Structures are given as structure tokens and as C-alpha cells.
Chain A
Amino acid sequence: MAIIERPSEEVALAPSSVPEVATPSTSYGIFRRPVETTGWKSWLFTIDHKKLGIMYGVVAMFFFIVGGIEALLIRLQLAGPNGTVLSADKYNQMFTMHATTMVFLFVMPMAAAFANYFVPLQIGARDVAFPRINAFGFWAFCFGGIFLNTSWFLGGAADGGWFMYAPNSSVAFSPSNGVDFWGLGLQITGIASLTGAINLIVTVINMRAPGMSLMKMPIFTWMVVVVQFLLLFAMPVITVALFMLMFQRSFDATFFSVEAGADPLLWQHLFWIFGHPEVYIIVLPSFGIVSEILPVFSKKPLFGYPLVVFSGAAIGFVGWGVWAHHMFASGLGPISVAAFSVATMAIAIPTGVKIVNWTMTMWGGKIKFTVPMLYAVGVIVQFTIGGLSGVTHSVAPSDTQQTDTYYIVAHFHYVIFGGAVLGLFAGFYYWWPKMFGKMLSERLGRWNFWLTIIGMNLTFGPMHVVGLQGQPRRMYVWTENRAGEGFFNIGFWNLVASIGSFVLALGVLTFLINVVISHRKGTAKAPLDPWDARSLEWITTSPPKEHNFDRIPTVGHLDEFFHRKYEDRGSGDHHEFHQVATGEEVVANEEAHAESHIHLPSPSYWPILLALSLPIMGYGIIFNLFLLFGGAVLALVSLYGWGLEPHTAGDDEFDPPTGAALEVAAHG
């Protein structure tokens, strides 16, 4: 924001203190370039990766609760036989939107929140490569998510299940506008993912601090890069599928019209070519978080760092060759089935590397079981359960007994909740002090953790039983006729799962309470380095200053921060680590050598306006083509505005001009 920070003691000690507020002058006729650094405008038009990260987080959390409440309704309906909480129609909408919300509006954006916030910090950069595109990505996600959910009030949400198989998604079989909203909404959030992917990859390739070679990069950053590559190449595939769906529904194209000779397997292939990479998109960021946390609390570097990096990349790569394991019962023919079955098994190998290396990281460590660490260990255990049931699916003949039953539902909630979501919670607790300068309560955190773990096992554990006893998924009711009796009876275990889901909800609620309490206690300030951390994001204040680092750190090691704090005084095979500096001292040293001229790009109206045009066009396609035209005009105007706008507001756009401030030399 074209202001120079003067890193003085005051600023360092009171990180939340606001730098000089500049008053904007006029630059767009009556509108002014939004250069405020406080107030609502500073959020709405911001292009700061940290603010955007927080905004991603808040909105994703909101959608987590939405998706969670949808899940609770599902569980209420299924608690007993012939449930009456939801009608068949509402139930179908509920699980479709539950999955869509959780996957596209919670896990992916929450990972984007962490990636946005921490990737630049972990590689020693001051922002991402394309800050305005970053802002656009956030708003596209936000508006896309809202757009998707307005379908609830405009005739009903999508009801075809999250993989929306054709031809059940055609107008004749799903006459409400729900599927249109679904397709266009995902298209919009997909644009956000694509731009985000390009942005983050460029950032990591090009903006690393001096000395940070690729193999010295924090593992979280690595996993984010792999995920962005997956997004980069997977999004266009679903884009093609969604366009065909839109043309089918809105303009009577024939892609999925069986009467015209269409092959319904076309959609399945396109969806899963995207869909399988997608599941690794979901889980790898959390793998990254876990890989950050385990070394910190074990006081050991990540075991086999290069192998963990390569296995992450390998998962990403092999993940492109296994999609048809979702189609083992679709009638592909035995050769394809056998090939995909074996390929799927292969993916357990790189994933196993992660599990084993995490375990070996802890082995022989000096472990502190803080809340983030509990969650990280939770991931290892819970994900392994889910991964192993995944291996049982990969055996194609057995999968024909399992597919589309609750046994699959159990698998993917163990890998998704046990892998991805627990990992995200680990990230919340680990990085909260960094992001907000305040600690979350460890005591409440432990409640949070245990309720969540017990809740998730109570919820998803019984689904293994229910599924192997033959209960298909996506059934709005089950009957006692097919429930059986005795220990494995479906009725009992369905009830357990439903009760479990409320325990789980209590767990999530505890987290929200923890957040509220932490922020109410206005004064309690987190120590600068509460965990004795190891990576670059900790070599700055908490929360970081607007420009992240007073001086861009020079990197000599993987775990740079650790090596600045500790020194090996042993000799030969004998190692003895001694603390030579505290985190505070390391940061103070950086501040003492602050750089003088720091330019940051300025906020802009255009990203949010461009993003706003997308849902307008969406409504246009569904309801009224004039609206489509209006949206297109807005998009065009925003694009031109964007294209002609300099990255940084000129000095004269401030009132008074801030040119003078630029010359202020840094303190010390």
C-alpha cells in the first residue's frame, strides 16, 4: 500500500498497531483508488495475501458449518428406519449440497487460506506474484459459494449427488434449476482455483528468499505446490464437463442424451479424471501441515524429507492414472478394470511413505503433545484407517461388493475428515498465534480434539459395518426388513453414527468457542515463538507486518529458523544441540537490519468487480439473458480497468502525497 513502514521498536512490540493511515485522493473521477489500510474498505479491496488468507478462512469456516448442519440433518434422517425429517427430494439435495459444500467450499478454500497466508511467509516473500489475481480468486470463490447456495431459495438445490452422473442430471430427470446452479457455481469457484494455482506456483518458483533452493523449501509449501499443479491440470477437465452439462441443460445439446446415442460413461470419465486428482487436492495440504507440525513437536527434522517431497509429487502424478477405480461397476470391461485396479494399489506406496516417515520422525524424538501435535498424530491414525479401506476398494472384485455402499462413505470420511479436516485443525492450533498474535486455549483445545476424535469414530466407524452389511449410500430411508438383527444390525449402528455426528458437532462447536474466548481476552498476547518452531514464517512478528519481513531472510538450511536458534556443539558422530538464540532475538536481529524501501502493490476495485460479474452472468444464463449481457459488460469494464491500472498507486493518489514518506529511512 505504498506506504513505508518504519520498523521501530513500537511497531515490533505492538504488532497490531496500525501504520500511518493515508487518505486517498481521486483517481477514477469521483471514485478514488482505495488505499485505506483500516476499515471495511481495507478488507474489501485488499490484495494483501494475509488478509485474503484470513478472509478465505472465515468464509470457508462458514461453509463448514453450513455443510456440517446439512450432514447433521442427514444423520437425523437416518437415525432410525423410515426417517421423516426430510422428504426424499430434500434429502437428495442435502447430500448433494453437503458434499459440494464440504469439498469445494470448505476444504479446498480452507487449504487456500493456509496456502495464501503461509506460502509467501514460508518462502520469505512479501506477497504472492499476482496480488490482484489473488484477490479476484478469493472473491470468485466467495461469490461462487453464495451463488451456489442461493439455489436453496430459488426452486431447490442440485439433487444429483456430488458426481452428478449423466443422464440423471438432465433436465427431464432433474427439472429444478438446482443442477444449473451447481454447474455454474462450480465453474465460478473453478476459475478461482485455476487462477490461485497459477499464482501460487509462480510465487513459489520465482519469489523464494535467497538461498532457499527447492530442497530447502518447507514441506507445507511443497505440498501446496503439488496441489496447485493438480488443480492447474484437473480444473480444465471438469470445466469441459460442466460446459457440456450447461449446454445440455440450457441449450438442448445432446452430449448426454441417450436417445441420440450418447454414452453416459463420458461424463463419468471426465468427472473422475478430475475427481480423483481432486481427492488428493483435498488431502495433500493437510499432509503438508502435519509434516510441519510433527518435526516441531518432536524436535527432529522431518525423517526422509526428500522422500516425503518426492512421494508427494508421486502421489500427484500417479493420481492421474487411477480415476476409473470409481467406475469398477460401470461396465468398463475386464482389462481396463484390472489395469486401474493395479494402478490404484500402486498409489498406496507413496502414501505409505508419508505415514512411515511421519512415524519415524516421531521415533526417538522429544515429543510435546500440544493440541496441534495431537491433531497431527490423529491424522496419522485416522487417515491410515481410511487409506487401508481404500486399498480394500482397489481390489476391483471386492469393490463391486462395496461400491456405492456406506463402506465407501466410511472410507472417504476417514481419509477426508481423518486426513484433511483434522490436518486443517492441526493448522488452526499451530498457526493461530502466528496469524492473530493470540493463543488458542490448550485446555479447550484438548476437549476439542477428543470430542472430535471420538465423534468422528462414532460417526464414521459404524459406517464400515453398515456398508458391509449391504446398506447402499444415498438412501433417504432404510427399512428394518433389510436391517438384520444381532451385533451387526444396521439399525443400531445407524443410530450410533447419528449420535456420533452430534458429538462431532460438539467438538467443532468447542473450536468456535475457543476462538471466541481467545479473541475476547483482548490482552493475552502470544509469545513470538510459542512452539519453538523451525521454518521461515516465524522469523517475523505475530501477526506479520503488512510487508511480512523487515529484511528478506537469507536461507542456509531447511528448518532455517531452528538453525538460527540452535547450534550443534557435538563433534563427529556425537551431537549436542544448544540454544544460542531465542526466537525474539532472531526476529529482533532481522528488524535491526530492516530494508529501507519497501513497495507493496496497492488495493484495487477491479478484482472484486470482476468476480461480481461472474454470478451475475450465472443468474443470467439461468433466468434471463439480459442479465448475462449486463454481467458481461461489467466483466469487460473491470478487465479494462484492471489492465490499465498501475500496480502501485502513484504518490499523488494520496492526500497528502506520500512521496515524502518514501524517503524516511528505516530505523537503526
Chain B
Amino acid sequence: MADTAVHSDAHIEHAGHHTSTGLSNNKLAMWMFLGSECLLFGGLISTYMLYRGRHSANLGPDQVWDIPFTSSSSFVLLMSSLTMVLAVSSANRDDDRNTKVWLSVTALLGALFVAGQVYEFTSFYREGLGFTTSLFSSSFYTLTGFHGVHVSVGIIMLMSLVGMISKNKVVGDKKEVVELFGLYWHFVDVVWILIFTLVYLIPA
């Protein structure tokens, strides 16, 4: 993902660590990216909030939500955060095998979540709630769709990482790469925590 810093001595592997603050460039960059993402999701969530009540009579949030279903898929995503953190922890112990296992489990749970979302979308669609049906539907699909794309990108990245670890092709510090992916993954989870409460649980 990220380049290593230009460095003034020849130990390429350690590049990026000799910094003014002693912090890793990559991690700093990731945190900034996540800070920036706050404003992206904030915008989408507020748009949804503004528009959630603007729909045709029988196709509003209260009519279409299936709280038990969404709760379970939220639970799945929450647990994927646990497996992710276990992957990071394994990577820190240089335990490649467990790292790969936990990363794969994380990707799997993520995929389960996305599958749940796809199911949810199709069932909403069958009930007549298309993307263009109402302001509520446009902003709902856009918000959750953006989140879903973030999860999907995360899944692809996790699987690629598993592959790269197997082939020993990770560029840079392996522990750190796993940690960075973890940060991204947890952030996506955190966003879902907000969405789950603000969008699903609080009635319009």
C-alpha cells in the first residue's frame, strides 16, 4: 500500500522507522486516512438522517427493517473485529500460521456480512424499495452501499495479504502491514456500529 520512506542508511527493511517522531509513516498515514473517512461517512449518515423520513407511506424504515436479521449480521461483523485483532496479535508474535488463519476467518466473517447485506438488499428490493424509489431509499442504499464496498475492499485486501504471507512476498514490515489492515478493518466495523444504532435501531 504505502511506500517506505527515503532513508539514509542501507538497511532497507528498517526503512520508515527512523523518523522524527519515531512513529511509522504508514501508520500515521492510515490514521489520517481514517480521520478523513470520518467526514465521508459523517456526510453519508447525516444525509440519511435528513432523508430517512421522506418516503412513500408503506416503504419507510419502520416497515422494511428486519432487526433480528440485521442484528445477527452486525454480530458477525463485530466478531470479525475480534478475529482481526487476534490476527494482529499473532503477527506480532511472528506466528505466520495463526496470522493467516485469523486473517482468513476475518475475511470469511466479512464475506458473511456482505452476503447478509446482499440478501437484505434483495429482500428490500422485492418489497418494492428500489434505489430510486424515494429519498429514504437512495440515501439508505448509498450509505450502506458505501459501507459494504469498504468491507468488500477489506476482504480483497485480507485475502491478498494471506496470499502474500504464504508466498513470503510482503513488502515492508509484515507485522505492521497486518496492523494497518487491522486498523482499516476495525474502522469499517466502527462505522457499522454507528449505522446499526443510528439507522436501524432508532426509529424514524
Contact = CB atoms under 8 A, between A and B. Distances in A.
* Touching chains A and B, CB distance < 8 Å: yes
Interface of A: 47, 125-133, 194, 197-199, 201-202, 205-208, 212, 232-237, 239-241, 243-244, 247, 251-255, 257, 260-263, 266, 270, 552, 595, 597-601, 640, 643-648, 662
B203 to A, nearest CB: 19
Contacts of A197: 32
A255 B139 contact: yes
Contact of A205 (B28, B37, B132, B169): B28
Given A244-B142, A260-B135, A266-B47, 20 more contacts: A126-B6, A126-B8, A202-B25, A202-B28, A205-B20, A205-B23, A206-B20, A207-B5, A207-B19, A240-B43, A247-B138, A252-B132, A254-B133, A260-B54, A262-B51, A595-B8, A597-B10, A599-B10, A643-B1, A647-B3
18 contacts: A127-B5, A130-B25, A197-B32, A198-B32, A207-B6, A232-B32, A236-B39, A241-B43, A243-B146, A247-B142, A252-B132, A253-B132, A254-B135, A599-B9, A599-B12, A601-B3, A643-B164, A645-B171
A237 B50 contact: no
A129 B3 contact: yes
A213 to B, nearest CB: 9
A317 to B, nearest CB: 14
Contacts of B7: 599
B36 interface: yes
Q: Identify the 3 closest CB pairs spanning chains A and B, nearest first.
A: A240-B43, A206-B19, A236-B40
B2 interface: yes
A232 B34 CA distance: 10
B25 A129 contact: yes
Contacts of A647: 3-4, 12, 15, 171
A601 B6 contact: yes
B170 to A, nearest CB: 9
Contacts of A239: 40
Contacts of A127: 5-6
Most buried by B among A129, A235, A252, A270: A129
Nearest to A238: B43
A233 B160 CA distance: 29
A59 B58 CA distance: 54
A647 B16 CA distance: 11
Nearest to A270: B43
Interface of B: 1-10, 12, 15, 19-21, 23, 25, 28-29, 32-33, 35-40, 43-44, 47, 50-51, 54, 131-135, 137-139, 142, 146, 160, 164, 169, 171
A240 B12 contact: no
Most buried by A among B44, B54, B135, B164: B135
Contact of A206 (B10, B28, B50, B51): B28
Contact of A254 (B1, B43, B132, B146): B132
A130 B2 contact: yes
A237 B42 CA distance: 9
Most buried by A among B28, B39, B142: B39
B47 A244 contact: yes
B50 A266 contact: yes
A253 B138 contact: yes
B164 A253 contact: no
A251 B131 contact: yes
B67 to A, nearest CB: 25
A600 B6 contact: yes
Contact of B171 (A202, A206, A270, A646): A646
Nearest to B33: A198
A201 B1 CA distance: 17
Contacts of B160: 640, 643
Contacts of B12: 599, 646-648
Most buried by B among A257, A643, A645: A643
Contact of B8 (A194, A266, A552, A648): A552
Contact of A237 (B19, B28, B35, B43): B43
Nearest to A647: B4
B19 A598 contact: no
A130 to B, nearest CB: 4
Contact of A255 (B23, B138, B171): B138
B171 A643 contact: yes
Given A206-B20, A207-B19, A240-B40, A597 B8 contact: yes
A208 B20 contact: yes
Contact of A132 (B3, B32, B131, B146): B3
A552 B7 CA distance: 11
A193 to B, nearest CB: 11
A64 to B, nearest CB: 28
Contacts of B164: 643-644
Given A233-B35, A236-B36, A647-B171, A253 B43 contact: no
Contacts of B36: 194, 198, 232-233, 235-236
Nearest to A253: B138
A552 B131 CA distance: 57
A644 B172 CA distance: 10
A206 B40 contact: no
A125 B2 CA distance: 18
A255 B28 contact: no
Contacts of B43: 236-237, 240-241, 270
B190 to A, nearest CB: 16
Contacts of A132: 3
